[in-house]
Structure 1
Amino acid sequence: MSSPTLADPDHRAHLRELYRRTLTDDILPFWLRHGLDHEHGGIITSLDRDGRILDTDKSIWFQGRAGWMFATLYHSLEPRQEWLDAAISCVGFLDRHGYSVDDRGKMYFTTTRDGQPLRMRRYAFSESFAAIAHAALARATGSDAAASAAERDFASYLHHAFEPGAVTPKVNPKTRPMLGIGPLMIGIATAQELRANLGETVVSGRTPTEWIEHFISTIEQLFFKPNLAVLMETVAPDGSLIDHFDGRTLNPGHAIECAWFILHEADLRKNDGWKQLGLRILDCMWERGWDEEHGGLFYFRDLHGLPVQEYWHDMKFWWPHCEAIIATMMAWQATGDAKYARWHQQVHDWSFAHFPDAEHGEWYGYLHRDGTPSVRLKGNLWKGPFHLPRMLWLCGEMLE
């Protein structure tokens, strides 16, 4: 007997209840209980299986991510004071300690627990998540200062992510110029959040909608290769392939996340061309990423099926599965195609069978290929209350 899918109204009701209950009764309480720093503000994300603190250093981008998540839940799901307090705490720590003084205002990646600077990274994702956190907090509280900060952070993101010379490239651009898809797709999601919370405010010469159009167009022109059935992670500036390890490496979960950003915009704008683009990206990257032997999504693949240099290439990380649950549901809602309902149930069933910790709550983040835990931690500087609660919240919203 086949498993029920999204095509079954009773199953949709079951999923809606499961996603909402997991969010409000499991995931959020875990982080509110164990992660919030009541002494210095903000959130500590490096937690053991049972919530004990493993490391007190703080990820600045997670102050933004968590701040956005709690503020968004407050204004869109239920106005719980504990969620608003958590958002204010995270954004407050970010405001006090996230911005460098001697590096043109670029944001740090990590600080000590009390906010002393530790590490600056090349990419500008701390800025993008600060922007969406401030935007969501502005909507939740009506704060003009938060709205202005969101616009400032988005402008800083655009500068550091796209202005030549703003950040020293990882690879010498004179020897091998390269473009990555990450800043473009995160640009889509960031602009979508600013528009949803602040409206069509002009930042760096364009409205959020105009920035989204630019980012989607660039992704389609340079990174999507329909003749190869692939969305590339890295290409040359003209979109041509780079036949080296970095150039051939694919990240199916990242590409599937990009697909649902585009599908979301297509739905909002009733743009059939973008809908077809999002569906084609999802189709080809699902085929490249799904592990037919053990289930779940591989972390990395090679464009030509060659060996991948990263040794964790066949591990199963929590976040690609969260993104695939969103993307397959969104694709089914856009098309009614039974294939997407089936894919959604595949990734949902595999994820809920392997990632959750029934004893202590939350999800493990890193599994071996066969689905057994690789490490027992529930959080680190990259894993915290973002991908998983975002999936649970957004899927619950789509199922309303």
Structure 2
Amino acid sequence: MDQARIADLRRTYRDGLLEDTLPFWIEHCVDREFGGFMMSLDRDGSVIDTDKGVWQQARFTWLLGELYNNVERRGEWLELAMHGASFLDNHCFDPTDGRMWFHVTRQGEPIRKRRYAFSECFAAIAYGELYQATGNSEFADKATNAFERFVQHNLAPQGVQPKFTDVRPTKSLGFPMMTIVTAQELRGAIDFPQANEWIERSIQTIERDFLKPDLQCVMETVGQGGQILDHFDGRLLNPGHAIEGAWFIMHEGHLRGRRDWVSLGCQMLDWSWHRGWDAEYGGILYFVDMRGLPVQEYWHDMKFWWPQNEAIIATLLAYHLTGEAKYAHWHQLAHDWAYQHFPDPEKGEWYGYLHRDGRLSSRLKGNLWKGPFHMPRMQLNCWKILDQMQLR
């Protein structure tokens, strides 16, 4: 990866973020009548469903605040972030228990709440950026409260019917992984005093319970004690998810001077790359079986946008931190495959869902799951990593 390649990649990520991804969403998703953002968009950006996913309200609010605080203090970005936060405040919390909804109508009427509490972690980082942007302590308080609801509910769920019986209790990689990145964001935005404690605890949990050196894999779901559950759900690996967690841990190791954490993140990336990279067609597979057996989920071999985004960040960061040539090679593979298949050069942004061989599966640009988060976060992170690499 020479200086010409670095400069070219930097332009791709920076210009893609500022001239394609962000304008696409700002032009098409902002709801000036009822507040918030309508994210269910067709290929050309036309709204095809007016319901609003709470994850996406908070995620876009975070992105706008992040850009305002760390790229350029554009008034439009702050105004839209405040617009998103107002919808969160007015419509996305259940007044009976303080937890957040997952899915609401255009007007903000509640449709459903999930058993897990990830709306809360996305709201926490959104409020954190607004505190940093405005200095208003109410946003810092909201960020702290949302984080506390997130961890409390995931550790001891209240007021929800369990999805499974207690015959085979499980725990997921998602909770410690999201705790790490949420605490990282709050540490930077509101100087959250408990951030390091939660990050250390979560990294320890992942290393102890989810990494299996004998199998060279990162589990998605394990028993309460970290044991492997040799059934469809227990054997299911999500390489993109593990790769996402890998770069969170690498990033923390870099910030704190913990080379052991950088190595841990690289190990997670290595195992998950070998499990998840599609040697036949390219790209990161969605699901694979721990033992190489058939997977139950019928979309297992599709190529979703977000695992490619996470692989692009993780491989670039690993190369930046270690200088190992394999990571530069993997980054080129991931970047080139994704940029060959996902972008829509005519209408802008990326498609979200491809078949295994790269053919388009759906022309959707957004829904309850896909919005302006993984993609612009990738572009922003890679732009900043490449800035550092140019200085070396």
Same fold by TM-score greater than 0.5: yes
Q: Which residue of 2 aligns with 1:394?
A: 381
Q: CA deviation at 1:168?
A: 3.5
- Cα deviation 1:269-299 (Å, max 9, x = unaligned): 1111111110100000000000011000100
Cα gap change, 1:33/1:164 in structure 2, threshold over 3 Å: closer, same or farther? Answer: closer
CA distance in 2 between partners of 1:84 and 1:100 (Å): 26
Q: How does 1:129-140 map to 2 (within 5 A)?
A: 129-140=122-133
Match of 2:37 among 38, 43, 52: 43
C-alpha deviation, 1:79, in angstroms: 1.1
Q: Which residue of 1 aligns with 2:390?
A: none
Instruction: Using the TM superposition, give the Cα deviation of residue 241 of structure 1 relative to its aligned residue in structure 2, in angstroms.
Output: 0.4
Shift, 1:165, TM fit:
4.8
After TM superposition, the runs of 4+ consecutive aligned structure 1 residues lying more than 6 A away are none
Name the CA distance, whole Å, in 2 between partners of 1:284 and 1:101. 44
- In the TM superposition, residue 234 of structure 1 has moved relative to its aligned partner by 0.5
Q: Which amino acid aligns with 1:182?
A: G
- Measure, in 2, the Cα distance between the counterparts of 1:208 and 1:178: 25
Deviation at 1:157, TM superposition (A): 0.3
Secondary structure at 1:378 match in 2: coil
Aligned with 2:12 (options 14, 18, 33) = 18
For residue 122 of structure 1, the aligned residue among 81, 103, 115 is 115
Could you tell me whether the CA contact under 8 Å between 2:91 and 2:109 is conserved in 1? Answer: yes
1:351 is matched with which residue: 338, 358, 363? 338
Following the alignment from structure 2 to structure 1, what is the Cα–Cα distance between the partners of residues 130 and 258? 30
Superposed, 1:1-400 pairs within 5 Å as: 7-102=1-96, 104-163=97-156, 165=158, 167-172=160-165, 174-201=166-193, 207-400=194-387
Q: How many residues are aligned here?
A: 387
SS of 1:10's equivalent? helix
Question: What secondary structure, in the 3-state scheme, does the structure 1 residue paired with 2:372 have?
Answer: coil
**Cα distance in 2, alignment partners of residues 166 and 9 from structure 1:** 55
Give unpaired runs (5+ residues) of structure 1: 1-6, 202-206
For normalisation by structure 2, the TM-score amounts to 0.97
Q: Secondary structure of the residue that 2:361 maps to in structure 1? A: coil
Please give the alpha-carbon distance, in whole angstroms, between the structure 1 residues aligned to 2:176 and 2:216: 20
Write the distance in 2 (CA, Å) between the matches of 1:132 and 1:21: 25
Structure 2 counterpart SS, 1:54: strand
- Output the CA distance in 2 between the equivalents of 1:289 and 1:217: 24
Once the two structures are superposed, residues 160-208 of structure 1 have per-residue CA deviations (whole angstroms, 9 ceiling, x without a partner) of 1112556443211x2111011101100100000000111133xxxxx11
Distance 1:373 1:91 in 2: 34
Note the C-alpha offset of 1:72.
0.1
The answer to whether the 8 Å contact 1:159/1:166 transfers is no
Shift of 1:210: 0.3
Matched AA of 2:75: Q
- Offset, 1:125: 0.5
Partner Cα separation in structure 2 for residue 233 and residue 299 of structure 1? 12
Displacement, 1:9? 0.9
AA paired with 1:160?
Answer: H
Report the Cα distance in structure 2 between the residues aligned to 1:215 and 1:288, rounded to whole angstroms.
Answer: 23
Q: Deviations over 1:25-70 (max 9, x none)?
A: 1000000000011111111110000000010000111111110001
Q: Deviations over 1:291-345 (max 9, x none)?
A: 0110001000000001111100000000000000000011001100000000000
Amino acid at match of 2:386: L
Pairwise CA distance, 1:229: 0.3
The Cα shift of 1:227 comes to 1.1
8 Å CA contact 2:51, 2:103 repeated in 1: yes
Q: Structure 2 regions of 5+ residues with no counterpart? A: 388-392
| Residues 73-129 of structure 1, C-alpha deviations (whole Å, 9 max, x = no match) | 011011111111111111110111010022x11100011001111111111000000
Matched-pair contact (CA < 8 Å) for 2:183–2:192: no
Contact in 1 for aligned 2:287/2:300 (Cα 8 Å)? yes
CA–CA separation in structure 2 for the residues paired with 1:146 and 1:63: 16
User: Conserved in 2, the CA contact under 8 Å of 1:160 and 1:166?
Assistant: no
* Distance verdict in 2 for CA 1:338–1:289, change over 3 Å: same
Output the CA distance in 2 between the equivalents of 1:224 and 1:75: 35
1-side partners of 2:155 and 2:352: how far apart?
A: 31
**Contact 1:123–1:160 (Cα < 8 Å) also in 2:** yes
